[in-house]
Chain A
Amino acid sequence: MKSSNSYLVAAFVIAFSVLLVIPMWAAYGVLFPKEGGHGAHGAGEMLMASEFEEKTARFIEERRLPDGSVRGEQGKPIYVMAIQYTFRPNTIRLTAGEQYDLQMLSTDVVHAFSVQMGDTSYNAVVMPKVVTALKLKPTKPGTYLVVCNEYCGIGHDYMYFSIIVEEAEGGEHPEKMSKEQHEKMNTMTKGQEHGEHR
């Protein structure tokens, strides 16, 4: 029986055209739309847990506010340590419009950084030994929940912290937090304590 091989050729063209999707986006200019810079490019820096722990402790000590939260400084590293079943520090304050350099490391098992932004999220793996480095630039004030989304043990669902983004100038200060933010902070601290004591 003679068959029409032109359909087979057409099928090959259609199947191989799927390979063009990604280069097409690159040509269209939507790839690499990130404003933050090149923090995630290349593999992360290798670092010992003890060294990172020290850096994190120093960072928290230097930047701690009276309410226990920690304020990030533009251009300088913000250290976040992931440990079963908490993040340190557990509340970070940033200012909208500024660019930050976030450095994360786990000191035990593999964790993750999943920041909730309303109806979507940004997700990255946080490992022992290799630093997860991200440039981030908040554009909209608000309180953002960050959860671990890599199973890290039976207390995994108690592992979360928050990033509070504040207005650039004349905006809110920790002392002038809204009632709602105060409530959220209190709930979070309780949750973290529960997680740590499991």
Chain B
Amino acid sequence: MSLVQEIGKSHPDDQKLMAAYGIAGLLSLVGAFALAAILVVIKTPAFGLVSGALYYRMLTGHGILGFVYWFAFIQAALLIAGATALRDGGRLWSLKLGWLAFAFTTGGLVINMVGVFSGADVLYTAFPPLAESFPATPLIYLGYLFVATGAFLITLDFLATVFTWVESKGSVEGWKRMLTEIHISTFAAICAVPLIFSVVLTAFFLYIPAFLGSMGWLALDPMEFPMNFRMTYMVMFHITHYIPAMAMIAASYVLVELTTGANSVYSKTVAKGLFLMYPAVVPPTFVYHLMADPSITEGIKIIGSALSLLVWIPSILHMFIIMGMMEANMRSAGHSVFGWIMHLPWKNPAFASLIMSMITFGIAGGLTAVLLQEQTASLLHGTFAVPAYIHPMVVGAASLTYMGLIYYGVSICMKRDIWGSLIARIQPYLLTIALLVFAWAGTLAGYAGVPRRTADIGFGGLAPESWQTLMNVAVGIGGTLTLIAGILFFVVIGMTMFAGKKLLVPSDLGNDLAMLEVTPTREFVYTPTALIPGVIFVLVVLIFTAGAFSIMGKWPIQFG
């Protein structure tokens, strides 16, 4: 049975919950894009419409909707998919618990948005003591407690579902059989559970006292609490963004199978084992967010630098396996060393999303190398280079992969063909180009010293002239194109839901999403081309760090 048929077999009640999460996630993303449109207008110097008060409010809302809720909702949908759709019509352990989790997450969204629009201009970080000066801040902390509870409950439901798959829970063999049987992506979700629970527990530890303190119900040390909050927050924040990283790679395994029908030529145990690396390597690498903080000792920073690139290892290897799946599959049809690339289903929007997300993930990842090192972080810390890599990571890599899955999700669940083939085909490429323009000009702006999270970068006319040009390109062109690509995606998905052509055979897919037909003419199990992206990545890290050291050596003021 094909994966599409398997997904299509999931129970309608589970599908409803999954769809609710998916739609709520999409609405959060629409909101994040809508606020981003205002940010683009304010932050493009050429428009000359700087507004500090509006900017910080919109930025707070944009960050919370995009980074917290879009991910919280869509990743919950992916957990449910991993527990049901990838399990041959399996059922969720408790549908009621799933809906309760959904209610908590939605409640958090509403509370947070009321907080933002009542004037909590605290950005999504909401650090005390700054946050305490805004009366609406308690609503930000309370909303976060709700979304953390929602994430905890849906993860619990997922875990309970996994437990039901083991017939005799006392036998090691039973567990081993279950873990061997399950799809790589479901295994990845299991590996993400320790990270999700760490985030949830840290969130409670942070936001319960912060909420009580901001309401005046709990006395907090005005010096100690903000410092501890900042440190603990960084640990939580660090772990948080590896959840989309894992989910994105897990989703990539599903997408490569759906779009090309390829299977791994390497043992699935290797891929599964690589997911186990994340819970091991992610927590100890949190130090790299604090490279410019005076409160961290140099010794810890050096250890942090040495460990920082460790988190890339499983991702580089997954990229190799996924590329290898395609290469071996395509070359079994007789294509040449590079010729197989031309024959991939580039017109399938989900496939384009998959490849483009891998490209942006690699490029944006290479850009982070300079920021993660104790010695070079001072070059870019707090500059526009940070959003310049975060956006390709969050929108270009993680979200684009999710968008690819959404194309399938909507088509399979609604039993409709994709509306607007041409728009759907263009959308992933346009989004990628837009984000790469944003990343390229934004990184240069970061190197030029443009501060992030600053409404007016004019500084009374004292700012370097290059800043305006770079920001006009990064935000004015890159940002606007990103918005257009986002709108195209929302239009295609919205129209497919209501106006897409009904599919006659429900287990079928329309032309756009149909699996690539590969007729094997030989057995081919070698994957040399798949090694190339990893080599390029290592070289990029090398070149970027070399460039950073070179710049630092030429500074007109030397720091020590």
Contacts and interface: CB of A to CB of B under 8 A. Distances in A.
A7 B530 contact: yes
A187 B462 contact: yes
A14 B294 contact: no
Given A3-B265, A116-B449, A123 B383 contact: yes
Select the residue from B375, B466, B526 with max chain A CB neighbours within 10 A: B375
A154 B560 contact: no
Interface string A30-61: 11111111111111100000000000000000
Nearest to B461: A187
A36 B459 contact: no
Interface in B507-548: 523, 525-528, 530-531, 534-535, 537-538, 541-542, 545-546
Interface string B292-328: 1111111100000110111011101100110010001
A119 interface: yes
B464 interface: yes
B560 A8 contact: no
Contacts of A188: 460, 462
Given A130-B295, A134-B560, A33 B535 contact: no
Contacts of B553: 30, 33
Contact of B293 (A2, A22, A125, A144): A125
Nearest to A140: B556
A172 interface: no
Q: What class of interface size applies to chain A in its complex with B?
A: 35 or more
B191 interface: no
Interface in B410-453: 447-449, 451-453
Given A151-B56, A187-B460, A114 B526 contact: no
Interface string B463-507: 110100000000000000000000000000000000000000000
B223 interface: yes
Nearest to B50: A157
B559 A136 contact: yes
Contacts of A155: 52
B525 A2 contact: yes
Contact of A22 (B53, B306, B379): B306
Contacts of A21: 309, 369, 538, 541-542, 545
B270 interface: yes
B556 A139 contact: yes
B454 interface: yes
Contact of A154 (B121, B227, B463, B542): B121
Select the residue from A19, A22, A142 with max chain B CB neighbours within 10 A: A22
Interface stretch (B20-28, B31-39, B123-131): B123-131
Interface stretch (A66-74, A75-83, A104-112): A104-112
A127 B558 contact: no
Nearest to B129: A109
Q: What class of interface size applies to chain B in its complex with A?
A: 35 or more
Contacts of B137: none
Contacts, number: 269
A10 B223 contact: no
B384 to A, nearest CB: 9
Given A19-B309, A134-B559, A135-B560, A112 B382 contact: yes
Interface string B234-256: 00000000000000000000000
A19 B466 CA distance: 35
Contacts of B538: 14, 17-18, 21
B207 to A, nearest CB: 18
B74 to A, nearest CB: 27
B459 A157 contact: yes
Given A134-B560, A151-B453, A157-B52, A18 B312 contact: yes
Q: Top 5 closest A-B pairs, CB basis? A: A36-B560, A121-B449, A191-B460, A149-B451, A44-B294
Interface of B: 52-53, 56, 121, 123, 127, 129-130, 133, 223, 226-227, 230, 265-266, 270, 292-299, 305-306, 308-310, 312-314, 316-317, 320-321, 324, 328, 369, 373, 375, 378-383, 447-449, 451-457, 459-464, 466, 523, 525-528, 530-531, 534-535, 537-538, 541-542, 545-546, 549, 551-553, 555-560
6 contacts: A3-B526, A15-B320, A18-B309, A32-B375, A119-B466, A122-B559
Interface of A: 1-5, 7-8, 10-12, 14-19, 21-23, 25, 30-44, 108-110, 112, 114-140, 142, 144-145, 147-157, 160, 162-163, 165, 184, 187-188, 190-191
